[in-house]
Structure 1
Amino acid sequence: MHAVLTTYLCYTVVSLGLTAWVARTLFRNGALFLVDVFDGDAEMARAVNRLLVVGFWLINLGYVAFALRIGSDVPDARAAVEALSRKLGGVTLVLGAMHFGNLFVLQRMRRRNRLVHQPVPPVPPAQYGPPSAWAAPGAPGA
């Protein structure tokens, strides 16, 4: 019983530490990216950055709590390390998946924002007509 409680404690402490480190890193390094996504609106970027961190914490804490139970007995140190590695591997995969999911969504927002603000190329006046390569075969100028 003592090994199980020690494994639970190690899992919880390492998971919370890992989540805190990733959340802090994403918050600091994502700020500049979010300013670019929101077209220079720093206030909106800060607000979204804070909301992303809150959501990140909620999802990860929920997963850590959900995955806390160890399905088998932990009779010795080897079993404890194996159980701990499975649990921490799951937390790490969830953290990585969330990170890449956030990047995917934000990159799409950034791309859409750049397309909206992209200058429209000039259109030639109607008197010039289409290039001769577009003209029908046998038409004048073809």
Structure 2
Amino acid sequence: MKTDFNFIAYLIYLPIIMLLTWYVAHTLFKNGKVFMLDIFSGKVDIALSTNKLFETGFYLLNLGFAFKIMEVTSIIENGRSLLEILSAKIGGFAIYLGIMLFFNLYLFFRGRKASRAKNVATH
């Protein structure tokens, strides 16, 4: 019986990208609460709700992209090819997640700067 390396690739890829996405989202939005509280001047309800909405969007966008790029178009013949394809796919997705992380941090800092400018103008 021939081993179906393509199916094994999917079985390895899916849990890794889901765990990686969860870890980045969990870390980002756990620490993002501080920014949201600052941006919304301590209004806890709106800050936490906004943070949760950003987190939900982060999951949808990143998991959606991960599922979109999941397809392996060639037949994987051996373990070496399996590792090479998985490393390219997971590595590329990790780079994408890193870019998304920094983009979200940029948004947090931009919101914080706008909030502080607004507070200075009103006082």
TM-score over 0.5 (shorter chain)? yes
Say if 2:29 and 2:51, in contact at 8 Å, map to a contact too: yes
Runs of 4+ in 1 over 6 A off after TM superposition: none
Instruction: Give 1:38-77 correspondences, 5 Å limit.
Output: 38-77=40-79
Gaps in structure 2 of 5+ consecutive residues = none
- Let me know the Cα RMSD of the aligned residues: 1.7
Percent identity of equivalent pairs: 35
Q: Is the CA contact (8 Å cut-off) linking 2:32 and 2:108 kept in structure 1?
A: no
Gaps of 5+ in 1: 121-142
Higher relative contact order structure (alpha carbons within 8 Å, sequence separation ≥ 6): 2
Q: For structure 1, which segment, 24-33 or 7-16, has the greater mean C-alpha deviation from structure 2 after superposition?
A: 24-33
Instruction: Note the alpha carbon deviations across 1:77-111, whole angstroms, 9 max, x for none.
Output: 11001100111112212211111111112211111
- State the shift of 1:62 in Å: 0.8
Q: Which residue is 1:83 aligned to?
A: 85
Structure with more helix by fraction: 2
CA deviation vs aligned residue, 1:2-22 (integer Å, no higher than 9, x gap): 111001110111001111111
Alignment length (residue pairs): 121
Q: Deviations over 1:101-138 (max 9, x none)?
A: 11112211111111121268xxxxxxxxxxxxxxxxxx
Q: CA deviation at 1:73?
A: 2.0
Correspondence for 2:120 among 110, 118, 121:
118
Aligned to 1:106: 108
Show the counterpart of 2:22.
20
- If you compute each CA radius of gyration, which structure gives the higher value, 1 or 2? 1
